[in-house]
Chains A and B, each alone.
Chain A
Amino acid sequence: MSLTPNDGVLSELLGALCDGSITPEQFAQLEQLLLDSAEARECYVNYMMLCGELKQIVPACPEHPGLPPSHDPSDSQTCIQELKERAQHQPEEESWETNARENQIRQLAEESFNRFKEEEERREQERLYKAYLARRRQYVAGLSSLAALLAILLFVQFAPKSQTPTESDQPVALPVVATITDLSQAIWKDDTGITEHTELRPGSLTLEQGYAELTFKQGARVLIQAPCTFTLESANAMALEAGSMTANVPPQAVGFTVQTPWTTVVDYGTEFGVSTGQTHGAEVHVFEGTVSVGDETSSQFATKGQTARVDRAGRVGLGSLDGRPNLFVRDMPQAGSRFGIPGKRLDLADVVGGGNGFGTGAPGRALDPSPGYMSVTTRAAVLPRGPLNNSGVRAGSGYIDIQRCPFIDGIFVPNGNDPSTTITSTGLVFENCPSTHGTFYDGIVCGAAFDNQWIHPGRLVGHQYQTTEQPSIGACANVGITFDLDRIGASMSGSVISGFKAHCGISQSLADIQSKQDYAAVKVTFWVLVDGRVAYEKALGTDPFESDQIDVPLNPGDRFLTLVTTTPRENLYCWSMFAEPALEFASK
């Protein structure tokens, strides 16, 4: 701090500032000086720090500050003497003020803590319960337990003497953390008596069938899809042991946390879905906003349009939602509006449509088993065809392994004339596949509809099958599709696939556009294979229109379910379809 021409001015201004006599003009002048010069700023800080120091060492003078100002010179002398003596000591020997200060601090700390305690009483209870849970479950995050433990022990330390410490084994009366806001065909494990508007407290629940929507006290809205086992932890946190759910988190509930056995998802104001199971780790799809996925040591952010897949070691990999099937139901379906009922039966037509089997697929979506074409197309993308003289027909070529839909293993065109007809990605074949022309129309379609302009929905036994309530798979001969039961089963942890059911036949809407003589000779054979073994085989015709019920039981070891349609003749008017194709579940 060297002498500058402004020293006198600066000194005067700083003095005025410290003594409260500074005028607005002087203040502006001071501000300007400070803005202009680093030295002035240095001065300022030194000066202010000095004033601060003086303020603190002087009042601690032994002379009681409350005493009226004494004009007795000897008094002031004594004090000055004291002050001088004190000043000679090393700063470390501050014990003469430590006690007073310590008491002040302790008092301040206790006051603050009491205020804190009052405000946080409810959260204290929840943390107690969390600590209780932590001793029972293997995968609670260490941090929250630590906070809980600290909370318990703090509570013990500062609680009034008359209160005995709370035993953490017996949780205090638990607060309501969520309310049921909607249900659809919901069946719970252990008859819980849950209905709409039921208030829920922390604890575990298992939904065996249907859907349940819960709204947490802090605002997060969660749609649970059966089969699902989950635990409510607090007004803004839950654990998902197995199953799928979607969460919609408004701003006031940011920080909503879902813990799975493999990872923790924390929400930053979003809509996302989480699915987890014993065998396949966890999968998170982010529809809006951002979430973090991971644990205390490392986590990643996933945003809108991204997926995060977590393996059983807790490693997080990010991906894109594009082309991934719609794994999650985001809104509660209206009662009876969907053929697929979680925990009860899965709609395979919905799976063909890119959905999860419960109505998230897109009707009209078609799988195309010919080479050179996209293996997945939609109605709009299908090329217009010429008159029914085979110009729209396409040939197959081998097995097409569909990677993007985990529930579908692949598609193919069956032809006994080929050296062999592969029907799974593992190389299983359709032995004794009948001879066909090796061509097909339209592919495998979600929602059977036929004819050039797609205006004739599939119809069997007088029923029209083209909706989510009454779905169907359009399978104009000759096509085949294989579903991966392992993947489907894994996503439905807690349930076991018990069988496959469907109606099959040639659509009666054929009669709407063609005359009987044109189609009377049409015959299509419907096949169901399980791991390459024929479990069902039926030839059905159009004169009269025949249809049949398929009921194939399935065992836990069965991995691949294949549906095939074949015709020995030219595949004209082969409007074959599977209606209400369902995988049925039984509880474990």
Chain B
Amino acid sequence: MSEVRKLDDSSEASRGQRFMHLYSGKERSIYKYIYTLVHDEVAAEDILQETTQAMWTKFDEFEMGTNFLAWAVRIAHYRVLKYWASQTKGMIFNSKLVETLAERAEDHVHQDTRRKMALRRCMKKLPERDLHLIKLRYQEGASVKKVAEQVNRGIKGVYKSLSRIRWQLLECIQRSLVMEDRS
């Protein structure tokens, strides 16, 4: 009890490095988890910021060697709940539903890699016009209105197209995974 426990690394600049090493590559998954539950891109970004800050602050509590993503998801989950609690109006899911969705979302987040690869394969198969639309829609600062202007189409039509394209991608991913499992 008299000896101070030795640290893992000799220099402490590595705390920041260790954090980044663990964090980068996971940031996406954490964002997706949050977005799935709050279905609002702006709110999801804010909550991601808060979560990252909290993770940095609490980094000493993280046990090296354990699942960093799972730890991060827990912290994000708490903040999602706080967000919901602070939303007095707007469209809020029933809280039991949120809990159920959160469980499913966490599972997904842990299987991310396969789905990401499947998504890339599926995107290659999209007609160029559709891919173009997706690219415009998901640019920084994009809005469907702007996209509609850019492609010179009616807004309703653009909504419908985007919806269809994403659904197609989803189906494609699913088939791709099933085929993988079979082979």
Chain A residues close to B by CB (< 8 Å): 1, 7, 11-12, 14-22, 24, 27, 31, 34-35, 41-56, 58-59, 61, 65-66, 69, 71, 76, 79-80, 83-84, 87-91, 94, 98, 101-102, 105-106, 108-109, 112-113, 115-116, 131, 134-135, 138-143, 145-147, 149-150, 153-154, 156-157, 295
Contact = CB atoms under 8 A, between A and B. Distances in A.
A50 B2 contact: no
A138 B1 contact: yes
Given A50-B166, A80-B131, A35 B97 contact: yes
Contacts of A147: 60
A140 B104 CA distance: 44
A19 B27 CA distance: 22
Contact of A105 (B20, B32, B113, B115): B20
Nearest to B14: A157
Contact of B41 (A14, A41, A55): A55
A35 to B, nearest CB: 6
B119 interface: yes
Given A109-B16, A153-B12, A15 B166 contact: yes
A66 B93 CA distance: 35
B12 A154 contact: yes
Interface in B15-44: 15-16, 19-20, 23-25, 27-28, 31-32, 35-36, 39, 41, 44
A108 B49 contact: yes
B138 A59 contact: yes
A42 B124 CA distance: 24
Contacts of B36: 44-45, 48-49, 52
Contacts of A76: 132, 135
12 contacts: A1-B171, A18-B39, A18-B162, A19-B159, A31-B97, A52-B32, A59-B138, A84-B124, A108-B49, A109-B19, A116-B56, A142-B3
B36, B143, B146: residue with the most chain A Cβ atoms closer than 10 Å: B36
Contacts of A27: 91
Contacts of A50: 119, 166, 169-170, 173
Given A35-B97, A52-B32, A65-B139, A105 B52 contact: yes
Contacts of A19: 137, 144, 159, 162-163
Contacts of A11: 163-164, 167
Summarize B's interface: helix, strand, loop or mixed.
helix
B157 interface: no
A142 B28 contact: no
Nearest to B96: A35
B52 to A, nearest CB: 6
A31 B96 CA distance: 11
B87 to A, nearest CB: 13
B108 interface: yes
A44 B97 CA distance: 12
Contacts of B169: 50
B159 A16 contact: yes
B1 A54 contact: no
B176 interface: no
Contacts of A91: 113, 116-117, 120
Contacts, number: 216
B5 A142 contact: yes
B12 A17 contact: no
A55 B44 CA distance: 12
A66 B13 CA distance: 34
B159 A108 contact: no
A66 B38 CA distance: 27
B138 A20 contact: no
B179 interface: no
B101 A45 contact: yes
B24 A102 contact: yes
A149 B61 CA distance: 15
A425 B171 CA distance: 86
A101 B28 CA distance: 10
A558 to B, nearest CB: 35
B95 to A, nearest CB: 11
A146 B131 CA distance: 53
B88 interface: no
B122 to A, nearest CB: 9
A88 B124 contact: yes
A46 B174 contact: yes
Nearest to A296: B1
A112 B53 contact: yes
B57 interface: yes
B88 to A, nearest CB: 15
B63 to A, nearest CB: 13
Contacts of A94: 25
B4 interface: yes
Contacts of B116: 53, 91
Interface string B62-76: 000000000000000
B140 interface: yes
Contacts of B150: 69, 71
B135 A134 contact: no
Contacts of B140: 59, 65-66
